[in-house]
Amino acid sequence: MNFEQLQAFASSSPMLSLALVGLTLAIIVTEIARLFRGYKALRPAELTGLINRDNALVVDLSASADFEKGHIAGSRNIAPSQFDPENKVVAAARQLPIVVVCRNGQASAAAAKRLKKAGFEQVYWLDGGVAAWQQADLPLVKGR
């Protein structure tokens, strides 16, 4: 497609052209905001490296029953209703990398945002949660 064809399309389909420009701008703004949010999404392999290399604290926001059914080895369980940056488990690890995990990645992203706002420097969340961990064929520990 050359420039003349693009101009012809834009003049014959102004609504589609505006929609394309709007969607493009929305994607750009979203990606820029993601770069500056201060916390990073991790894939399961990246989390494994962070745990092994930097002794990261993994906080699992799953309900107790779900945590007992299976969790990442070494993770600490804090119920979402009890999660607070001043929680003794979290506050004691202020200098360590902290990774927040939940079952699907939704609650952990919001918790990571709270930690960053509270002044934690090394904040991460597991994108896709425990489900992504399992999908990567990584082991879960049962029980407490």
- Any idea which residues carry the catalytic annotation? 102
Token pair for 48:
């494994």
Q: What share of the chain is helix, strand, coil (3-state, %, to 5)?
A: 55, 15, 35
* DSSP code of residue 76: E
Bridge partners, residue 124, by sequence: 40, 99
